[in-house]
């Protein structure tokens, strides 16, 4: 549910993930709080692969490419909250503002498993935010901002402790993480299965099948997603960059190929995307 341009919230969604509609890999300028209630799901954020467990709280700096991959046919219940940090700053106590946003800006993408009282309190905060979103109060938006600040203070307090980076729990997860890291480092170059097989000392069929099973994508689909996301970032942060230069810096050898893949992924041409992006700003 969209509350304002700066806040979007979905509570305990059980909608089926449909790879036919979207491959799921995306990025956005907002910070994201993702809470996993129930089900079976692998979550890929940048070069990290998380096997989620109920009670997992994931904090994301939205510009990092990320994607959920729920197990087909299994439950998938989650709550997600996107917020614009520049819009929420005025609602936070000025002495606490840096501290509250630090988990998103310094930890950037991390997972914390909530247990016991912490889990109960956080789920109550999510429910209260949802309850207010359904109200007809004249002060609905203001009250929701207060609840959001309370939720962010809770997250900041949790993150003041040692947040341990989750290590891959299986050899297959380690391999997938290695593949993603390799692609993220070499996406500007020509990458083939031969390169990855040599890097990981594994056979090409095993690599391709394992990656598809764990992420729901082929390796080359991920590579093109990574390149398209890089182009979108270039358009956002370098307003004067040309489409030709963005294509080259994103790893495409031919402008026509870049334009075709960009429109297929984003839904419009690179020129139109760049124009609309800076018209909004």
Give the start-to-end residue ranges of the domains of the chain: 2-159, 171-280
Query: How large is the greatest C-alpha to C-alpha distance in the chain, in angstroms?
Result: 62
d(CA 30, CA 38): 25
Contacts (Cβ under 8 Å, ≥6 apart) of 159: 59, 102, 103, 107, 110, 112
Cα of first residue to Cα of last residue in the chain, in angstroms, is 23
How confident is the model at residue 2, as a pLDDT?
44
Sign of CA dihedral 131, 134, 137, 140: positive
pLDDT one-digit tens code per residue, 191-234: 999 999 999 999 999 999 999 998 888 999 999 999 999 999 99
pLDDT one-digit tens code per residue, 67-117: 899 988 888 999 999 999 888 888 888 888 989 998 888 867 889 999 999
Q: How far is CA 263 from the centre of its chain?
A: 21
H helix or E strand, kind and range, residue 262: helix 255-266
pLDDT exceeds cutoff 60 at 133: yes
Provide the CATH number for the domain formed by 171-280 in this structure: 1.10.10.60
Residues composing the chain: 281
Domain topology for 2-159:
Jelly Rolls (2.60.120)
Secondary structure letter of residue 268 according to DSSP: S
């Amino acid at each position: 549910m969209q509350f304002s341009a700066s806040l979007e919230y979905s509570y305990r969604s059980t909608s089926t993930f449909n790879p036919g509609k979207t491959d799921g890999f995306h990025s956005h300028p907002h910070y994201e709080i993702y809470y996993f209630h129930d089900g079976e799901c692998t979550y890929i954020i940048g070069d990290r692969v998380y096997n989620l467990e109920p009670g997992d709280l994931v904090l994301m700096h939205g510009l990092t490419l990320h994607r959920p991959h729920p197990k087909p046919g299994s439950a998938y219940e989650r709550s997600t909250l996107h917020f614009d940090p520049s819009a929420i700053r005025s609602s936070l106590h000025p002495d606490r503002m840096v501290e509250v946003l630090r988990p998103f800006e310094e930890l950037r993408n991390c997972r914390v498993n909530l247990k016991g009282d912490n889990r109960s309190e956080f789920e109550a905060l999510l429910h209260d935010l949802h309850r207010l979103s359904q109200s007809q109060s004249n002060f609905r938006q203001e009250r929701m901002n207060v609840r959001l600040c309370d939720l962010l203070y809770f997250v900041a307090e949790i993150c003041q402790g040692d947040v341990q980076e989750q290590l891959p729990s299986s050899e297959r997860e380690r391999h997938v993480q290695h593949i993603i890291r390799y692609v993220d480092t070499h996406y500007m170059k020509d990458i083939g299965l031969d390169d990855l097989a040599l890097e990981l000392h594994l056979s090409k069929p095993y690599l391709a099948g394992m990656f598809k099973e764990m992420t729901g994508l082929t390796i080359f689909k991920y590579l093109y997603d990574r390149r398209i996301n890089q182009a979108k970032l270039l358009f956002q942060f370098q307003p004067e960059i040309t489409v030709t230069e963005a294509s080259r810096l994103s790893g495409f050898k031919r402008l026509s190929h870049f334009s075709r893949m960009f429109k297929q992924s984003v839904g419009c041409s690179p020129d139109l995307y760049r124009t609309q992006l800076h018209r909004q700003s």
